[in-house]
Every structure is written in structure tokens, then in C-alpha cells.
Chains A and B, each alone.
Chain A
Amino acid sequence: AVPSNIMAKAQLPKNHSRSRNKTRMLFFCLFVVACYRHLASCVGGCTDSLQLRDELRQTRDKAQKLAAANCHHLTSHLRDKSLPEEQRKEMELLWVAFSSSLELLHADMCKVFNMGDIFSLANSAVFVQTGIQGGGSEVAARALSMPDLNQAQSPVLPEGLETQERSTMEQEISQVDHMITDMEMKVNVLRWMVESRGPQYAEPLNSTDSASLALLSMDEEQPGAEHEAARHHSQMLMMLLLLAVILLAAALSVSVVIFS
């Protein structure tokens, strides 16, 4: 249910199926990168645990698989010299988006790696009391529920030793680094020629709970949410009062007419 829901909400350009495939793949990649960021923000906090690290690892693996698939497809298409101009422009857009998401992923991976240095699971007393109470499991579930585009994903059990995981992570970071370098070497996309097609402001999603979230956060920049509700109420009252007065006047005039 989750994947189809998300697919419905996603804005996909109506083009021919090959590029729509690309967009879908890119979309999944972005999706997982966003989830990874949310998980990474919990590292070192009071909810950091073996489970979180495991979720991070799984999300990371997924992101890398998607990234590799995307990279392969985009590179092969852009190196194809016979690509028509319109398609090439689209590919370049996707390319820029993909490379930016790779950079984000790389930055997040580096941060998680470095934070793992300071906040190792063995010494859990140093975890910072950040006020977060739940873990990142919901976000991880969301990330991992994406359809896998390259066949089966074998769920690997977490390795017991942290050091092994760290060396694996180092390798993965350098892999992503190489991927980025490779991409730049193989295809020459002139970034200043690429023009975005989307809107400048992201469309606000229909979120009914944004108002309640506003009530939750104690910031003064949003007193408008509550005040607006109050203003609305006062407006309704005024309208009712006016209606009542009009009715009264009508009744009085009718009675005057009848009794005169």
C-alpha cells in the first residue's frame, strides 16, 4: 500500500516510458536519501542504539544499490551520442538531480562515520540528551519499503563488531566518492546550461496536521495559526449577530404592516 500511495502523490512528468522509468528510479533514490538524513540526525542522540545503526546500514545499502542502478542507466544514456536534443535535456536534468543527491548521501555518510567515532555504542553514557523519544524505525521502514529495482535484497544480519562495520563504511564512502568522480569523468554535463522546469516554491501538500504541529511547537513565529482560528470564530459571531438583527427588523416591519 505504501509504495502505490507514494507513487500517486509523486509528480511524474508525462513522457515516454523510458524516461519515466528513469524519473521513478531517481525518485526512489531521493526518497531513500531523505530517509537516511532523518535517521542520521538521530545518531549520537539518546535514541542511538544498535537498532538505529542497523537501520542506517540497511538504508545505506539500499541507497547505494539505487544509486548504482541510476548511475549506470543515466551514464549509458548520456554517453549515447544519438540521443535527441529534447531527451538529452531531460537526461541532464535528471543527471544533475542525481549527482546532487549523491553528494547529499556522501555528506551524510561522512557525518555518520565521524559521529560513530565520537559516539560509539560501547560507551552509551555519552549519548546526547536531545529530547527525541522514538527511534527512527518508522522512517527506516518507509525507506526500506520501496520496491527494489534490482532483484532480491538479502537481509544481512548485523555484524557483531563495530570496527568491522566502520571499515565497511569507509569502503562504502570511498565507493560513493568514486561513483561521483566517475560520473564527472565520463559525462560532461554543463551545469549552467541546465534549466529547472519545476516551480520555485514547492506546492504545500494537503497536510491537516500542520496546524496541530504548530500548536505543538512553542515558537512565537506561528501565533498566526491560533489567532486565525480565533479571528474566524469572531467573524462567524459577527455574521450571526447581523443576521439576527436583520431578522428582527424584518419581523418588526411585518408586524407594523399587519397592525397598521
Chain B
Amino acid sequence: MTIKNAMRDHGQRYRPRMACLKKVGSAVLLEMQDPKTGVKSQLQRLVITTIPHAITGEDIVAWLANKFNISAEEGRSLGTMLVALGYIYPLQDHKRLVVKPDASLYRFQTPYFWPAQQWPVEDTDYAIYLAKRNIRKKGILELYEQEQYNHLHKWMNHKWDFIVMQAKEQYRAGKERKKPDRAVFDCQERAYWVVHRPPPGTVSGMDYGLDRLIDPNAEEVTETDLIFLTFLWLPSLSCFLPRVKSSVSIGALVKFVTTHKNHDPFLAQCLPSNPWVTDDVSYWTLNMANVEIPTKMRVERWTFSFVELLEDPRGRDDFRFFLKKEFSGENLAFWEGCEDLKWGAAAGMSEKAQHIYKTFLARGAPRWINIDGTTMEATVRGLKHPHRYVLDAAQTHIFMLMKKDSYGRYLKSQVFKDTTKNAINPEEQKFTDAQLDQNARNRRPSLSPIAIRQMELEQKAKLAASGPVDITQVMSKLSKQGKDAPPPPPPKK
């Protein structure tokens, strides 16, 4: 390969989803455009002339449905895929890459502009294309194209004279052709760039995820690899692999699936509607972390296991509220502190560990937790040289304590019953096509992760400030009060 490719390649030239392009191109499209057995073609009438080889959307859908023996709806989505990949382009409404099953016209893209796996689309070509459009009519570039152009001008500045000159030359060479051909070529090029540099707010059919290091079309395992695997590598590993009976592991899988199958957005319905399908984000807003009233499905998930309850922020809030009522919130607070230590930044680790020790573990600490002697000894010894996992043993102990004791009581408690009663069950919402279009247009980016993190930190600070009261504090307050005044009611916060 050339220097150019090697420099930018880093070996990552295989784009996985694009392996389908070969099949689509050579198989489907060549049959489609066959003048005898393919899609019926018509003339496109323009102001001055007519251009042949235009096909209507309904013909495309009918041909596909006929050829592959599928329903019209499936034919339509297959046709939309062909358009989204760039094999067929619409003549009207060129920015929307869908197949409309009516008389709107389409045309086959020339093979030069077909998407190919082995050639990634070059920015140089894009810059030349934008420059050419600007030559043809000044100021015609849209806002996003303008931004791209400026961006490319900054990053490819060394080539810019070349780009401008080449754009002029291509424009002039194009003018040599006959007018209808020029119009067709312009449409082809424009369609190519709509596919590969989609306007903002549209979904690109070319999204393919991460690049891969191996060619998905190449042979999988070579002879030498097989030998290496079977005789050298696997035997040495097998001594150390943990073993579980398949009946056990399969049983666990089956249990997981049966409990969760109604909660999976693929297998069951996603109420009120799946945001990825309908572009309506009410599902996400109803299930946000700090929402007041959770959904019924979410509450049901909390009953599956203790881990589910703790992982869900809303569930954890509910649990914390319950524990506050029972005056045993120190367990959860300690657990959260340990999590913070484990996953937090390395900078303040020793301070955090000391703080946790003073708050929870030391004798006479304000929120003393009840762990057994050996664990306590081991933890205190470890705290002399604190590291991330120094509180692991204590955390596991507390976790099991909460799971065996508090969790069961929580599920039978009034708090949980109230939450279940108030939980909402959203209705399924169906959208008409027009509403779907409007949803697609109103797509907005969600809250940035920075904003979400800040909200979390604020909440944590609020929690820490309004220090929840535990039994030891209440007892110590009572003893301080003495017998002069009647014992004050436990402060409600």
C-alpha cells in the first residue's frame, strides 16, 4: 500500500459492517438494474431535456418484494437500506435517504461512487467537492458544509492550493460534457457526499463502529494458528481455568432470562415507546436517576435481587430512606464510602480511608458499623497502609448483612409498599408517520455527562450536609440531655 495509507492506517483498515457492501453491490444491485428483468425505468422530464433511467419508489419496493418473496414493508426497508448505503439516490428531496413507496424518482448510482470497504472516503475529495460547489455558485454551501470547509482549510492547509486548483480543473473538465450528463454527474456526486458526509441531525448508513485489526472477509484461522492453539496454548491455560458444571451455569442463565425477559426492551415492549425507534425520549425521562416517581417495571426489578436495588440510583435512594426510618443508615453509608474509595481518584485516597475509619470503624465513632472482630482487626491493620481495596472485606461483610437482613425487611416495609403503589405504568404510545417525522426533526442531544456528574456531586453534598441520624447519635444525645428534660423526639430531617 502507499505511504499515504500506511501513515494513517495503523493496520485498522477493516471496517466490519462494511463487509456487507460487496454482497449488496454485486448481488442485488446488478440484478435490479438489468433492463430486462430489473426495475422498470422511465424518463425523468426536466425543463429543457429528458434524462433516462429513472425509477420510481413504488417500482423498487414491488421488485424487491417480488424477487425476495417478502412483504411490502420489508421490501421498503430493504430499499431504504440500499438508498442509505448510497447505491440508489433520490432525485427529489435528496437529503432524505429513504425509499418512498410512491411515484418519487430514484436513479442508480454509478459504480465509481459506490461505497467500498477497502477505500475509506477521503477528506481531500470532500474539500475538492465543496470548493467545486462554491465555484459553481458562490455562497451556496450550507452552514454545516461551511463549517466543514473551514475545518478542512485549517487542517489540510498545506494542500489547499492543490485543492483549489484541482476543483477548478474538475469543474472545467466537467463543462466539456453535455448538459444532461453534467446534471446527472452533479446529482451523483452530491448524492455520494450526502451518504458519506451526512447533514447534521440525520442518521448515517455508514456508521460502522470501531475499526478492526483483521479482515472479516479473510480466512479465519490458519493452520499454524490451529497447531499453536491446540498443542501449546490451551493445555497450559486449562490448568488455571476455573471450572463450573455446565448444568449450574446454564441454570443460572435460564433463571436470569426468565426473570428479566419482560424487562428487556428487545424481547418485550418498551413503554411508552422505544426511543431508538420512535425518537421519543419519554422512556428515558421517566427512568432518569433522580426521578420522583419510578415506573412499575423499575420497581419490579428491585425485587429481583439486592444488587439490582443498589445499582439503580432511585432504588438506592428508596432503600436509604427506609434505612433512615430504621436508624440503620450507617451500613449503606459505609458501603457507599467503600465504593467511592474503590472507584474514586487516587489523589485523596488516604484521606478518604481515614475519614471512613473515623466515621464508621473507630471505637465510639458517630456511625459505628457492626462487623465481627477478625474483619475489624484485619481492616484496621490494613488501614496503616491504605490502598483501594483495603476495606474490601468489611464491605463484603456489610453487604451480606444488608442483603440478608435489611433487604428482606425493606421489601416488606411500608416504604416499599408506598413506592409500589405510587409507581406509574406508562401507556404504550403509537405514533403516526407524520409524528415520527416531527420527532426525528426535534431530536436534541441529551444532558452532557459533565452536567450529570455535577448534579450527582451536588446531591451527594446535600446528603452529607443533612447528615442522617443514626441510633448511636440519638442515644448519645439522649444521654447528654440527662433526665432533666423529657427525651426529645428523634430529629426529623
Contacts and interface: CB of A to CB of B under 8 A. Distances in A.
B182 A213 contact: yes
Given A103-B4, A132-B181, A222-B137, A216 B47 contact: yes
B158 A201 contact: no
Contacts of A192: 158
A40 B125 CA distance: 14
B30 A128 contact: yes
A218 B92 contact: yes
Contacts of A213: 136, 179, 182-183, 186
Given A35-B173, A103-B4, A93 B34 contact: no
Interface stretch (A25-33, A64-72, A78-86): A25-33
Question: Chain A binding site: helix, strand, loop or mixed by DSSP?
Answer: helix
A169 to B, nearest CB: 16
Interface string B2-34: 111000000000000000000001100110011
B170 interface: yes
A106 interface: yes
B101 interface: no
A6 B168 CA distance: 11
A196 interface: yes
A196 B137 CA distance: 23
A131 B184 contact: yes
Given A103-B2, A196-B158, A133 B111 contact: no
B2 A106 contact: yes
A241 to B, nearest CB: 30
Interface in A118-175: 118-119, 125-126, 128-134, 136, 138-139, 141-143
Contacts, number: 224
B138 to A, nearest CB: 5
Question: Chain B binding site: helix, strand, loop or mixed by DSSP?
Answer: helix
Nearest to B124: A100
Given A100-B162, A134-B177, A200 B110 contact: no
Given A115-B111, A217-B187, A107 B162 contact: no
30 contacts: A31-B173, A34-B170, A41-B188, A44-B111, A100-B124, A100-B163, A104-B124, A104-B166, A110-B119, A111-B116, A115-B111, A119-B111, A128-B33, A131-B54, A181-B3, A191-B158, A196-B159, A200-B153, A201-B131, A202-B132, A203-B135, A204-B136, A205-B135, A205-B171, A207-B136, A212-B48, A212-B179, A215-B47, A219-B187, A221-B142
B161 interface: yes
Given A41-B188, A129-B53, A215-B47, A198 B160 contact: yes
A51 to B, nearest CB: 15
Contact of B159 (A100, A180, A199): A100
A97 B181 contact: no
A218 B33 CA distance: 22
A37 B170 contact: yes
A196 B47 CA distance: 42
A46 interface: yes
Contacts of B33: 128-129
A91 interface: no
